[in-house]
Amino acid sequence: RAKQEGRNTYRLYRAEMDRQAQQHLSLETALRNTLEGHNGIEMHYQPIYNRNTGAIASAESLARWYHPDHGWVSPGTFIPLAERSGLILPLGEHIIDRVLSDINHWRKAGITPPPIAINLSAAQFWQADFIAKVEKKLKDANIDPTLITFELTESMLFERREQGMDVLSQLSALGCRIALDDFGTGYSSLSYLHKMAANSLKIDQSFIAALDDKTHDSRPIVAAISSLAEQLGLSVVAEGVETEQQLALLSQYPIDAIQGFYLSRPLTPADFQALIAT
């Protein structure tokens, strides 16, 4: 009987696996078609505020995919899918192109946008011609490299740190800025960090969410990361700030900029344009 039940469970499990595989396959096909058609994936922009002045210091571009049947598919789903299926390279290019074209759209409207951050995937970062591609795209779009920040995680560098540091130096030599995303959750190495061509650290949102956690209060971590960054001359962004209480708790640390739903959600290009036009 137990055996029978086990078998049934296994069958259910298989059916679920097949269903998921099917769903992934159809999503993958849809993503491929979307990328070929150059539409359906757009960028939203979440403002990042200077903590002291309250001014918009920069904004992070975040990919959004509108699927006709599934509605909005979140990047937490389609970025890993793209990474598994090799679509991440064309997707990554599409994302950079979209951001540059949005920037030029705003400029044509007479608006000077703040620096814009673009998230990178590991495969993108490790392409042999990545730097050359970025340089060409910026030149073609006539956009000053200092207006672009690339966000990456230290985990992306983990296996080949020396080469990774080299790519970062080249990016930085182009004039682009570099932010270490989700800082504190990955593979940090202090011996590399102090030599790295990074400009800022983004304290991972899990630490912001746990600022007032009764059992695992993250304040010692936030204190340590922000003072480390300050000592290293890096600017610090707190991301995922959702409440007034969190913002208040952050006031005792040397944090330069704040990003989070409490201040603004990611905005459509049009809404972001309206925000920076005022």
* Integer Cα distance of 210 and 249 in angstroms: 11
* DSSP-based three-state secondary structure for 110: coil
Q: Counting contacts by CB under 5 A, is residue 119 touching Mg ion?
A: yes
95 binds, among ligand C2E, Mg ion, none (CB under 5 to 8 A by kind): ligand C2E
| Sequence letter at residue 43 | M
- Determine the interface stretch with Mg ion among 118-126, 134-142, 190-198, 263-271 (rule: CB under 5 A): 118-126
260 binds, among ligand C2E, Mg ion, none (CB under 5 to 8 A by kind): ligand C2E
Q: In sequence order, what are the beta bridge partners of 151?
A: 119, 179
CB closer to ligand C2E, 234 vs 237: 237
Q: Which of residues 216-275 bind ligand C2E (CB under 6 A)?
A: 239-242, 259-261, 266
H or E element at residue 206:
helix 205-209
CB closer to ligand C2E, 8 vs 245: 245
* Integer Cα distance of 88 and 164 in angstroms: 19
- Closest approach, Cβ 60 to Mg ion, in A, equals 6
User: x/- binding map, residues 29-68, to ligand C2E, per CB under 6 A?
Assistant: -----------------x---------------xx-----
CB closer to ligand C2E, 95 vs 255: 95
In this structure, what token pair is assigned to residue 14? 């298989």
114 binds, among Mg ion, ligand C2E, none (CB under 5 to 8 A by kind): none
* Integer Cα distance of 202 and 229 in angstroms: 10
- Closest approach, Cβ 182 to Mg ion, in A, equals 4
* Integer Cα distance of 185 and 91 in angstroms: 25
Q: Counting contacts by CB under 6 A, is residue 184 touching ligand C2E?
A: no
Contacts of 28 (CB under 8 A, 6+ apart): 81, 85, 87
Q: Are strands 56-67 and 177-183 parallel, antiparallel or unpaired?
A: unpaired
User: x/- binding map, residues 76-115, to ligand C2E, per CB under 6 A?
Assistant: x--x---------------x--------------------
Q: Please, what sign has the CA dihedral across residues 30, 32, 36, 38?
A: positive
Q: How many residues does the chain have?
A: 278
**Short-list 218, 181, 178, 210, CA closest to 195:** 178
Q: In sequence order, what are the beta bridge partners of 25?
A: none
Q: Counting contacts by CB under 5 A, is residue 256 touching Mg ion?
A: no
H or E element at residue 60:
strand 56-67
- Closest approach, Cβ 183 to Mg ion, in A, equals 8
Position among 181, 234, 246, 269 found at the interface with Mg ion (CB under 5 A)? 181
Chain residues that interact with ligand C2E, rule: CB under 6 A: 46, 62-63, 74-76, 79, 95, 119-121, 151, 181-182, 205, 239-242, 259-261, 266
Chain residues that interact with Mg ion, rule: CB under 5 A: 119, 151, 181-182
